[in-house]
Structure 1
């Protein structure tokens, strides 16, 4: 293949490059031809029915790139298959139906702006992921790369090293406009969430929406925490009031977020997207069978085998890691004891500073252990072979959360409730907060940005040496983006917010400045994450999302744990103990009564505040009513059709005549 551009489709078809597929060096020609045929073949023949252009970047290195796009009609049909929801002329959101396309707002025949670029790339990604083997026994040209009916072709090509990567292209003009509004200017105004969602998709839009909301929600606790920390530390009445406000705050902000999230996702069209027929994830493998619900061909896998893998392998692995975490915590307390003994002996400035060293070392070790464990948990969860991406994410989040809660909070619980040392608790909490924030900003933002800038300079100089006059801008863009790191997803970002929420809701009554540090962290996170999305990582594929998923349950569970923790801390305070000098049982019963009262208040607030606003409830109910009426009409027509075919022939002719005359 000569250097340049070769088109595999008729030249009259419109082509807009959306997705890049990079092949490994020296991939055999028959493999390339087979892959191209699979991508362009019709759906009924087992292909994707997409458009593709291919060219070799460097003849010396045999570096082959495929650019994948789709015709406007193919993208609209893909939007219907994906279940995308769009606004209709009457203002209601409804699932997109190709035959009714002219009823939707802003739809113009042939206009590419009806679907966002992120939605188009999501449609292509789904088609490529669902490209599965039929009769092939192996990848053509590579007999060792085995295939079987139902196996994901792209997953096999990637695990065999034949496909290096698949990623969506940036739109340079849209990205430039977004960065100007997003992070190039420091301003007090809110983030352009709708514009972020339109460019990066629902998942990213929801994350930045939650990050912004959580930051604003932390401000009242931070404003209350500063005067409390400096002026009311030993005041029992204010101590109780602050702890109670903390519990109410942790409940109210989550319930208000549900309402805000439902309104936002309804406007985006993802709140009412149907998830019952979610496609199998690309990594799911098994014997090819028929889905009894949809009637489609897809891999099948025994749920019993998956359950055995979870309980016989995954659960023991998690328990072993938890034991290791507790053992490391024991080493930390041994170092803490040694530092305290040394300080009592020396009573010097150096010995006082040395008191913070064990906590700093422990905070660094926690971060390292969390990252290693997450990598192992991803491998283990993938090995469990979950059919749906949502199920995979739920099991992964559960594994990681259990370990992170034990790894990050076990030492604080031990200090608070076993050692009963509130001074050491404040010191450890402050050290963990500050150290983890510094490490996260360095590892997640500054280091990747610095490395990417160095890489970009080398790549630009390499591209210029190719001296290609045609397609130079596109070539340079592909070169730059394909050397960027893949976006790791929002998992680590949500986990960081979850841990911050835990520090604030669990122990801010002991260390009120926790909310202040959380606000400062989130403010820097807003700009550093925006920089990463636009300049450091590849553009991620969009994925429809109606909420933050299992993380909502995680935050609510942490809120319940916060009630128990704060009530116990109240019961441990000297002022409360002084009220029950004769009977510790009375103290325990009183604390338990307060705890149950606050839990009841928490659940009452959660019940009283609806998850959706009245307006959204009415619109969703209206859509469900329309769907039910449409189903009734369809059933009536089917029954009528059967009656006409089974009744007298003249009656059928009369019906046909009436139908023709009335159109």
Structure 2
């Protein structure tokens, strides 16, 4: 505030009254700044609502009085629960009311035992991983490590017991005994179970009040700002948010490990596990990217040495080919020399090795993530966490048609009949099937678009005539990406509506069903076109004189370079295009939000109090979109990796960017979320396992039926191992009445294993048997090796198992009644305690709006 006074502009002589007034203003500003620091220090949670500046305007709103009644009842119940409340009002375009909540020590202790928080028994000094130990023994530096200040200590912990308080580490320091995130969890637990009306009607908890717009926001405060402190202070004095920004969210941290313990300390285990999984997945992409790049470069060497390619390029007019459409002209096979060579980059023996490698990579990656997840969940005290008594969702309590006595608590609770839910779920399944049909309709429309555009370019006779197929293919890939993104938006809204309509009682069940619906649809939406190109395109075309048609158009054939090069093109357009669009949208959204907040701050001329600053931030909406994006990407780099060895490299580059973008969002853009405990990544892990199993099958069929690997192997084994004459072997001759040109009587050639009458040759059936045998052997070998890895690699690391036994022993000793003599009887409170002491200078919140504070 002192910087806002132009001291040089003041007159040299000031009257006594002006001097007193100036001193009062300065003292008032200093007092406001001091109180802001004081309240931000002890505030655990903030509730916000907005009111019109005019009372007449508020009365015109039908729900205003009801909301006011609920709000005051809720705040009074919170005060009765022992919480401290302090009200702050900011008058701008509307009157924004902030209630700052804090829990006294006795309330924290009671609810910490209720929600089974874990507290420290002893410091665990053995905190290095195996890679750090190996590098230390070899005296080698680790270029990815960094010294992050103020690393959180690792403790042996056990569940909190109020009557065993003296046996816990740090129990003499009441201000720091519970971590900030644990205080937030306690406050949220109180807010979630506090009623404001009829319990039988589900009028309970902050979630319902937020959904009813009684409060506009509820959030814990960030710990200070994220910019570098000025003037500079020692690193040990930095706030955790500042550390996370400079050692995690900045672009200069791209090559370093994420400070996972700091992330967990600030955001909680659920968010920390997401970033741990994302970092682990990105790290495992590094070897996959290296192998894929080597395989791709190996394709360049094959381009120069491949015998069939040389034979094709030197064939001249030896292979006149049948036209690709009913108005297209005939062409010579040698004209596609460059395209054929480009196809070798994606269709060679190296891709077969890479498919096997990536199938085993996916199985091994998931197995080792299981181990890492167990290690982290134990280190973060979540290995035994279970959300036993999950509360009903606010929407469920508001819309449930009846109540029923709970078999657990014996109280009347909102209830929805299971038979009705099953009927609604079945209806939802029919809607999903309908949306899948819509996707397939769009797929057929894009196929027709490709055929029509090819014919149109040929008819135009312009300079693009020779590139008609390629132009149609690339433009249809871009159009398909646009359709995919539009359908994703439509179905996301539809999935929300369907899942809400199904009336699932708990939030976890709601999220699981929503994730399952979206994944099923997105799986079809994103992968239908690649599946069509890989396994169906060019399979049902017939032969010259007897072509198959769709709506009057001849069925599509694979391009001159084969289907694999088209599949690689489709994958790159969808995968890379989606990643670029998503990252661009995130950047634009964040820049737009930042600009809007700057404008609001200038217009409102608001102070710098932490609760006001955090209210301007974006609302945290969960991790669903982040997980979904990565799971779809995981599918692209595993299911169709035989067609695009560079897919893991593009995924690696994207994920390096994604980690920093997500870190910046959480540290600088989002309100601080309530810390949530979690053991693992939830339903996403079974989905990843499903994708890895599907990937084994699709890669087996890709190699067997789409690539030229087995036909080349068959020809080399039965005819000529140098592959001389392979091009002629793969081409069939058209029936006698079909010629290359109208003026010529020379039959044209087409790719198939048929005789002059259009019947299949014995080689076709021999090759088909080999292809089926290859699929069976491939998937059995890969699944067997995966099962062997699963058996050899234990789910629980030996180190973690030993620590768990040690921790159980210490917890048993600490909580044993006969371990330490206790004076007098030990009692556990039967209800929430009432606070008996108040923070200084706080007033009681009255029933109406002229409030100041209470405890």
The alignment's TM-score, normalised by the length of structure 2, stands at 0.65
2:119–2:178 CA contact under 8 A, matched in 1: no
Aligned residue runs from structure 1 range 268-307, under 5 A: 268-285=380-397, 286=400, 287=402, 289-293=404-408, 298-307=413-422
Change (3 A) 1:40 1:69: farther
Q: Residue 281 of structure 1: CA displacement?
A: 3.5
1:36–1:52 CA contact under 8 A, matched in 2: no
- Determine which of 49, 61, 64 is the counterpart of 2:97: 64
Change (3 A) 1:428 1:237: closer
Q: Residue 283 of structure 1: CA displacement?
A: 3.5
Correspondence for 1:186: 252
The 3-state SS of whatever aligns with 1:371 is helix
1:200–1:540 CA contact under 8 A, matched in 2: yes
2:355–2:642 CA contact under 8 A, matched in 1: yes
Question: Are 2:607 and 1:458 equivalent residues in the alignment?
Answer: no
Aligned residue runs from structure 1 range 408-557, under 5 A: 408-419=526-537, 421-443=563-585, 445-464=586-605, 472-474=607-609, 477-557=610-690
2:78–2:194 CA contact under 8 A, matched in 1: no
The 3-state SS of whatever aligns with 1:220 is helix
Q: Residue 31 of structure 1: CA displacement?
A: 5.3
Deviates more, 1:340-349 or 1:84-93: 340-349
Q: Give distance in 1, aligned partners of 2:182 and 2:120.
A: 15
After superposition, the C-alpha distances for 1:319-358 in whole angstroms (9 at most, x for unaligned) are 1111112212222222233344456654539865564222
Deviates more, 1:345-354 or 1:364-373: 345-354
Question: Are 2:242 and 1:101 equivalent residues in the alignment?
Answer: no
Q: Give distance in 2, aligned partners of 1:125 and 1:375.
A: 28
Number of residue pairs matched? 602
After superposition, the C-alpha distances for 1:515-538 in whole angstroms (9 at most, x for unaligned) are 110001001101111111122222
The 3-state SS of whatever aligns with 1:266 is helix
Q: Give distance in 1, aligned partners of 2:204 and 2:431.
A: 28
Correspondence for 2:424: 309
Q: Residue 567 of structure 1: CA displacement?
A: 0.7
- Determine which of 144, 161, 169 is the counterpart of 2:221: 169
Change (3 A) 1:54 1:29: farther
Correspondence for 1:326: 440
Change (3 A) 1:14 1:66: closer
Deviates more, 1:422-431 or 1:331-340: 331-340
Q: Which runs of 5+ in 1 are unaligned?
A: 7-11, 137-147, 467-471, 635-663
2:639–2:695 CA contact under 8 A, matched in 1: yes
Correspondence for 1:389: 507
Q: Give distance in 1, aligned partners of 2:392 and 2:471.
A: 55
2:296–2:645 CA contact under 8 A, matched in 1: yes
Change (3 A) 1:127 1:328: farther
Correspondence for 1:121: 184
Deviates more, 1:513-522 or 1:315-324: 315-324
Question: Are 2:474 and 1:356 equivalent residues in the alignment?
Answer: yes
2:51–2:96 CA contact under 8 A, matched in 1: yes
Q: Residue 57 of structure 1: CA displacement?
A: 0.9
Question: Are 2:353 and 1:244 equivalent residues in the alignment?
Answer: no
2:46–2:219 CA contact under 8 A, matched in 1: yes
Return the structure number with greater helix share: 1
Question: Are 2:376 and 1:264 equivalent residues in the alignment?
Answer: yes
Q: Give distance in 1, aligned partners of 2:506 and 2:807.
A: 26
- Determine which of 350, 355, 365 is the counterpart of 1:253: 365
Q: Relative contact order: is structure 1 or structure 2 higher (C-alpha 8 Å, sep ≥ 6)?
A: 2
Aligned residue runs from structure 1 range 11-22, under 5 A: 16-22=42-48
Q: Give distance in 1, aligned partners of 2:814 and 2:244.
A: 41
2:202–2:394 CA contact under 8 A, matched in 1: no
Q: Which runs of 5+ in 2 are unaligned?
A: 1-28, 33-37, 53-57, 59-63, 125-155, 225-238, 300-344, 539-562, 715-762, 819-855
After superposition, the C-alpha distances for 1:18-37 in whole angstroms (9 at most, x for unaligned) are 32222232466885475344
The 3-state SS of whatever aligns with 1:53 is strand
The 3-state SS of whatever aligns with 2:218 is strand
Correspondence for 1:615: 799
Correspondence for 1:606: 790
Q: Give distance in 1, aligned partners of 2:462 and 2:695.
A: 39
After superposition, the C-alpha distances for 1:188-245 in whole angstroms (9 at most, x for unaligned) are 2201111111111111111111111111101111111112112234785433221111
2:70–2:197 CA contact under 8 A, matched in 1: no
Q: Residue 439 of structure 1: CA displacement?
A: 0.7
Q: Give distance in 1, aligned partners of 2:411 and 2:381.
A: 26
Q: Give distance in 2, aligned partners of 1:579 and 1:266.
A: 51
- Determine which of 36, 45, 52 is the counterpart of 2:85: 52
Correspondence for 2:709: 575
The 3-state SS of whatever aligns with 1:89 is strand
Correspondence for 1:214: 281
Change (3 A) 1:30 1:320: closer
2:122–2:157 CA contact under 8 A, matched in 1: no
Change (3 A) 1:617 1:293: farther
- Determine which of 483, 492, 501 is the counterpart of 1:374: 492
Correspondence for 2:775: 591
Correspondence for 2:229: none
Change (3 A) 1:381 1:633: farther
Q: Give distance in 2, aligned partners of 1:593 and 1:355.
A: 34
After superposition, the C-alpha distances for 1:99-153 in whole angstroms (9 at most, x for unaligned) are 2233333443422x333323322322232222335548xxxxxxxxxxx543335
- Determine which of 218, 223, 226 is the counterpart of 2:293: 226
2:347–2:564 CA contact under 8 A, matched in 1: no
Q: Give distance in 2, aligned partners of 1:331 and 1:235.
A: 28
Question: Are 2:106 and 1:73 equivalent residues in the alignment?
Answer: yes
Q: Residue 52 of structure 1: CA displacement?
A: 1.9
Change (3 A) 1:67 1:422: same
Q: Give distance in 2, aligned partners of 1:591 and 1:215.
A: 30
2:700–2:774 CA contact under 8 A, matched in 1: no
After superposition, the C-alpha distances for 1:166-204 in whole angstroms (9 at most, x for unaligned) are 222211143222211112351322011111111111111
After superposition, the C-alpha distances for 1:437-494 in whole angstroms (9 at most, x for unaligned) are 1110011x21122112211221222342x6xxxxx431xx433332332122111111
Q: Residue 620 of structure 1: CA displacement?
A: 4.0
1:83–1:274 CA contact under 8 A, matched in 2: no
1:129–1:282 CA contact under 8 A, matched in 2: no
2:50–2:94 CA contact under 8 A, matched in 1: no
Q: Give distance in 1, aligned partners of 2:271 and 2:264.
A: 6
Q: Give distance in 2, aligned partners of 1:307 and 1:14.
A: 48
1:15–1:70 CA contact under 8 A, matched in 2: no
